[in-house]
Chains A and B, each alone.
Chain A
Amino acid sequence: GNSVTQMEGPVTLSEEAFLTINCTYTATGYPSLFWYVQYPGEGLQLLLKATKADDKGSNKGFEATYRKETTSFHLEKGSVQVSDSAVYFCALRRNSGGSNYKLTFGKGTLLTVNP
């Protein structure tokens, strides 16, 4: 079946530090990959996505590249801000076959950025 594995948190960084949150996946075929962010007390927001191998998703200074050879979609940001403190979820969705409507989420990684 489909699964997503994210690095365990929590992750605590100082402002302007470099961020990497690792995400690897298991899926049949060629899924679409997503990063969602959940700020405290809010619902999830789509941060970025990639729909095929070697695609790079980017938004708000965050980037992630769909690596088929390593089945990874690591999230990176060159310089984090306090306002980036949130829980980050990696997710995938199959693009064909049964259950292709369903997002499979990782367990989430809590990021705290200190001033």
Chain B
Amino acid sequence: DTEVTQTPKHLVMGMTNKKSLKCEQHMGHRAMYWYKQKAKKPPELMFVYSYEKLSINESVPSRFSPECPNSSLLNLHLHALQPEDSALYLCASSQDPPGTNEKLFFGSGTQLSVL
């Protein structure tokens, strides 16, 4: 299994809603990542978990809250989002910790629309 699985594929939410994005991998990878990709733009790193601990937060607003319940799962909890947060949210994983010339495996993403 060389897949990173993200659910849901599409999500529409209001600005007062609370929702969660989920990401799962069964490759035994020890680092997991959240990226945000606006339309026609490159992905931008948001968070990195290494060995289930948050190791990098790229100054992301607190309305985005990551969680790593175990080595296979990564969640992104969303609360009080703004319309400008609408984007494709990509999860990725790597066998090796970040900064060690690791290869990233990306999921297909969750297309989020905030109304």
A residues contacting B by CB (< 8 A) are 32, 41-46, 51, 89, 91, 93, 95, 100-103, 105-108
Contacts and interface: CB of A to CB of B under 8 A. Distances in A.
B59 interface: no
Interface residues of B, number: 21
B108 A101 contact: no
B99 A42 contact: no
A100 B48 CA distance: 13
A108 B106 CA distance: 16
A105 B41 CA distance: 9
Contacts of B90: 43-44
A43 B92 contact: yes
B68 interface: no
Interface majority SS (helix, strand, loop, mixed), chain A:
loop
B98 A101 contact: yes
A7 B45 CA distance: 22
B56 A43 contact: no
Nearest to B31: A101
B4 to A, nearest CB: 7
Nearest to B103: A46
Nearest to B99: A101
10 contacts: A32-B101, A42-B108, A43-B6, A43-B108, A44-B104, A95-B101, A105-B43, A107-B41, A108-B40, A108-B42
